[in-house]
A = this chain, B = another copy of it.
């Protein structure tokens, strides 16, 4: 049995999501997405499964509707439109405050982004986006380049694997002994994240994935001239910006890559999560 989905608001990723769900045979209404086939918000809000954007809201006031020709949809206007009941209400990267607000309206908002499998799936377009950004910024090949990947979480793992596949010389860092053992098992050189000092001068390219101000002035001064930093950590990132600027160290800001550089792949990750949520609730898909 196929479902009636509604996708309300969002960016390019949500448009691809609508397409993917339709490709699977579902009926999909869209609203506030700015395409020619938007239906009225009220109609969309009644769907069996409503998918709000990622993030649901940037300012806490209006729905995130970057493609909706400059129009805004205040969250307060949204709440009364949802029938509730057996309706499944989903949003991405919701946050405690917004979840609470929805709860006060008697609505349960489930997060399709706050799931391990989506985060892992997103690590792939993130790694590719970071690699493409580095390739564009450099006048040398990644092949044979001495690369440091700081942090061996989801992004660090996938990124290290891809860099290795491109012929780079990969060193990855971690804090936990088990992650250091993984780094070794996959064949990279390893460093302890908390003991980088004195080991940085050999690298041509550094990817930071740790959302902690790790690359501070004392470490930045140890970099070889021309070393490029690609910062993947969410704002404010892991690089002391002022020091990097004063030391003329090039830093590429590379956050939110999946939605920007590979929205179709990012949409597929969201679709997977939506299906998993429905499955876990015993809904037919």
Question: Residues of A with Cβ closer than 8 Å to B?
Answer: 12, 16, 115-118, 120-121, 123-125, 128-129, 131-132, 135-136, 138-144, 157-158, 161-162, 164-167, 177-178, 180-182, 184-187, 261-265, 272, 276
Whether A135 and B131, one on each chain, are in contact in the complex, defined by CB atoms closer than 8 angstroms, is yes
Task: For A166, list chain B residues within 8 Å (CB).
Answer: 128, 162, 165-166
| Least Cβ–Cβ distance between A185 and chain B, in angstroms | 5
Whether B185 and A261, one on each chain, are in contact in the complex, defined by CB atoms closer than 8 angstroms, is no
Copies of this protein in the complex: 4
Name A16's closest neighbour in chain B (CB-CB). B139
Whether B178 and A116, one on each chain, are in contact in the complex, defined by CB atoms closer than 8 angstroms, is yes
Whether B165 and A164, one on each chain, are in contact in the complex, defined by CB atoms closer than 8 angstroms, is yes
11 further contact pairs, Cβ within 8 A, besides A140-B262, A165-B166: A12-B139, A117-B178, A121-B181, A123-B185, A124-B185, A135-B261, A143-B187, A157-B185, A158-B185, A167-B186, A181-B272
> Measured between alpha carbons, how far is A246 from B161 in the docked complex, in Å?
40
> Measured between alpha carbons, how far is A12 from B138 in the docked complex, in Å?
13
> Measured between alpha carbons, how far is A263 from B138 in the docked complex, in Å?
9
14 contacts between A and B (CB under 8 A): A115-B177, A116-B178, A117-B180, A121-B181, A123-B185, A124-B185, A128-B141, A132-B135, A136-B136, A139-B262, A143-B185, A143-B265, A144-B187, A161-B186
Whether B162 and A116, one on each chain, are in contact in the complex, defined by CB atoms closer than 8 angstroms, is no
Task: For A143, list chain B residues within 8 Å (CB).
Answer: 124-125, 128, 185, 187, 265
Given contacts A124-B185, A158-B185, A177-B276, contact A262 B138 (CB under 8 A): yes
Whether B265 and A141, one on each chain, are in contact in the complex, defined by CB atoms closer than 8 angstroms, is yes
Name A161's closest neighbour in chain B (CB-CB). B186
Task: For A157, list chain B residues within 8 Å (CB).
Answer: 185
Whether B120 and A185, one on each chain, are in contact in the complex, defined by CB atoms closer than 8 angstroms, is yes
Name A183's closest neighbour in chain B (CB-CB). B120
| Least Cβ–Cβ distance between A129 and chain B, in angstroms | 8
Whether B136 and A264, one on each chain, are in contact in the complex, defined by CB atoms closer than 8 angstroms, is no
Name A129's closest neighbour in chain B (CB-CB). B135
Whether A263 and B187, one on each chain, are in contact in the complex, defined by CB atoms closer than 8 angstroms, is no
Name A139's closest neighbour in chain B (CB-CB). B264
When A and B form their complex, which 10 residue pairs have the shortest distance between CB atoms, in order from nearest?
A: A165-B165, A120-B181, A116-B178, A132-B135, A167-B187, A117-B181, A117-B177, A140-B264, A141-B265, A139-B264
> Measured between alpha carbons, how far is A136 from B125 in the docked complex, in Å?
12
Name A126's closest neighbour in chain B (CB-CB). B141
| Least Cβ–Cβ distance between A56 and chain B, in angstroms | 22
Given contacts A162-B165, A165-B164, contact A177 B116 (CB under 8 A): yes
Task: For A124, list chain B residues within 8 Å (CB).
Answer: 141, 143, 167, 185
> Measured between alpha carbons, how far is A79 from B16 in the docked complex, in Å?
61
